[in-house]
């Protein structure tokens, strides 16, 4: 029998916001998309008034792929130099070293080329070049004084959305902690989305980064600071991942799937830059730091369980998201639809080939309590749509995912 909540379409859903809705939405990045748009890079530099840029990338992309040579060619004399010191998880000492290199060349713009680590490293370099000192001097929220030198971001993975976000996470290896930066001035000026530069991504990285994008979308859709504009971006991003992730995994050269995944990552990045993320990211940050599990993989393992945990209070939101993703929940109650969403995400993760349990990713059961405790001090947890900042609750989710 259909209950009174079944049969609603997204357009007929109950009011998601009241008359007291207030928000601001800041998204200044110029986004240029298309196969081959990399060739327009010199023009994009001119657009931001820069004469000589430094490229910030990693040694793998520089040495094992022809992509950085392509950049050299298209930039010509607008290229000041290529810095290849980016490491996995952007790191403070490398940011300072990169800033020293860029400063020695007298460059007036940075171009990040790579995944989230390259983009976050370039954000750090832009901070140090503009504000002086070391990157450790500037961590925190809305603390930057000056407009940063122009930053053009070229993502080679489809997941972080860092090319449009106001956040950077930079590891302080000496202090063994992650520094968080949140500032409107960190949003890159231009994002160049060229599907052709992502075709070389291996299947496991395609899957992990794609699930990171889905997690941004699903978390932003229920986060406390959400608003109707971030909702639209998040719902569209989730629908794109649902439709295109496996296609990109199975056919690496499929430029349609690659392009739509870049757009999914970008839309999800805009959504979470406005709305924040939540419990899944708080737990994934801890699991990543303690056990070296890839950020996207950690999110993927945890996401279905976070959805089930949140569904106790947020099943109406999840039903709307399930409808937007094309799941067959028109005749389902909110609770059933939320469970269908969790199951659909779990199915996507299994089909992508990623591990589905924490134990399969090398996390020992004995560590769950300490991880649950540590997650309480992660900044993302405060934005979660259901109150989660209690060690019993975080442990409940970790146990479910173990």
| Binding region for Fe ion (CB under 5 A) | 212
Number of H helices, E strands in the chain: 13, 9
Give the residue with the Cβ less far from Fe ion, 78 or 236: 236
Give the residue with the Cβ less far from Fe ion, 38 or 223: 223
Tokens for 114, please give them. 């790579």
Phi, psi of 27 (to 5 degrees): -145, 85
Give the residue with the Cβ less far from Fe ion, 37 or 381: 381
Q: Nearest approach, Cβ of 218 to Fe ion (angstroms)? A: 11
Q: Which residue is at the shortest CB distance from Fe ion?
A: 212
Give the residue with the Cβ less far from Fe ion, 189 or 212: 212
Tokens for 385, please give them. 């749509």
Q: Is 169 exposed, middle or buried (0-12, 13-18, 19+ CB in 10 A)?
A: buried
Q: Is 303 exposed, middle or buried (0-12, 13-18, 19+ CB in 10 A)?
A: buried
Q: Nearest approach, Cβ of 287 to Fe ion (angstroms)? A: 12
**How many C-alpha atoms does 247 have within 13 Å on its Cβ side?**
13
Q: Tell me how far apart the alpha carbons of residues 172 and 139 are, in angstroms, rounded to a whole number.
A: 11
Q: Nearest approach, Cβ of 192 to Fe ion (angstroms)? A: 21
Q: Which residues lie below 8 Å from residue 358, measured CB to CB, with a gap of 6+? A: 287, 301, 302, 368, 398, 401, 402
Residue with tokens 């028109």: 330
Q: Nearest approach, Cβ of 198 to Fe ion (angstroms)? A: 17
Q: Nearest approach, Cβ of 364 to Fe ion (angstroms)? A: 24
Give the residue with the Cβ less far from Fe ion, 37 or 303: 303
Burial per residue of 248-281, b for 16 or more beta-carbon CB atoms within 10 angstroms, e otherwise: bbeeeebbebbbbbbbbbbbbbbbbbbbbbbbbb
> Apex CA 109: angle with CA 106 and CA 186, to 5°?
130
Q: Nearest approach, Cβ of 88 to Fe ion (angstroms)? A: 14
3-state secondary structure of 167: strand
First to last CA, the chain: 35
7 — alpha (psi -120 to 50), left (phi > 0) or beta?
Answer: left
Q: Nearest approach, Cβ of 162 to Fe ion (angstroms)? A: 9
- Parallel, antiparallel, or unpaired for β 177-182 and 167-172? antiparallel
Neighbours of 165 (CB within 10 A): 28
Give the residue with the Cβ less far from Fe ion, 62 or 193: 193
Give the residue with the Cβ less far from Fe ion, 124 or 161: 161
Give the residue with the Cβ less far from Fe ion, 213 or 248: 213
Give the residue with the Cβ less far from Fe ion, 32 or 112: 112
Q: Nearest approach, Cβ of 49 to Fe ion (angstroms)? A: 32
Q: Nearest approach, Cβ of 183 to Fe ion (angstroms)? A: 18
């Amino acid at each position: 029998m259909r209950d009174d909540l079944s049969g609603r379409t997204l357009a007929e859903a109950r009011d998601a916001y009241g008359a007291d809705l207030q928000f601001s939405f800041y998204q200044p990045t110029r986004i240029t998309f298309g196969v081959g748009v990399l060739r327009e890079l010199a023009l994009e530099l001119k657009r931001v008034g820069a004469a000589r840029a430094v490229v910030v990338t990693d040694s793998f992309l520089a040495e094992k792929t022809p992509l950085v040579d392509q950049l050299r060619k298209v930039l010509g004399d607008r290229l000041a130099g290529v810095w290849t010191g980016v490491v996995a998880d952007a790191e403070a000492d490398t940011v300072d070293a990169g800033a020293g290199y860029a400063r020695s060349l007298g460059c007036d713009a940075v171009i990040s080329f790579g995944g989230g680590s390259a983009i976050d490293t370039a954000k750090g370099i832009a901070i140090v070049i503009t504000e002086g000192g070391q990157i450790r001097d500037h961590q925190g929220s809305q603390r930057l004084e000056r407009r940063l030198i122009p930053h053009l971001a070229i993502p080679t993975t489809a997941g972080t959305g860092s090319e449009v976000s106001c956040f950077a996470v930079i590891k302080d290896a000496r202090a063994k902690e992650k520094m968080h930066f949140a500032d409107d001035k960190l949003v890159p000026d231009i994002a160049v989305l060229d599907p052709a530069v992502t075709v070389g991504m291996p299947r496991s990285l395609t899957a992990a980064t794609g699930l990171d994008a889905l997690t941004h979308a699903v978390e932003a859709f229920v986060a406390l600071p959400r608003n109707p504009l971030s909702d639209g971006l998040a719902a569209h991003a989730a629908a794109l991942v649902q439709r295109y992730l496996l296609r990109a995994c199975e056919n690496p050269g499929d430029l349609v799937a690659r392009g739509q995944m870049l757009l999914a990552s970008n839309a999800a990045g805009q959504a979470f830059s406005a709305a924040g993320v939540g419990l899944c990211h708080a737990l994934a940050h801890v699991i990543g730091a303690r056990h070296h599990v890839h950020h996207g993989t950690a999110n993927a393992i945890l996401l279905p369980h976070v959805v089930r945990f949140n569904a106790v209070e947020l099943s109406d939101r999840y039903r709307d998201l399930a409808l937007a993703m094309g799941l067959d929940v028109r005749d389902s109650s909110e609770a059933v639809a939320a469970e269908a969403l969790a199951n659909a995400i779990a199915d996507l993760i299994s089909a992508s080939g990623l591990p589905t349990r924490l134990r399969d990713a090398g996390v020992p059961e004995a560590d769950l309590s300490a991880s649950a405790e540590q997650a309480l001090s992660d900044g993302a947890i405060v934005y979660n749509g259901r109150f989660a900042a209690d060690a019993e609750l975080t442990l409940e989710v970790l146990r479910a995912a173990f």
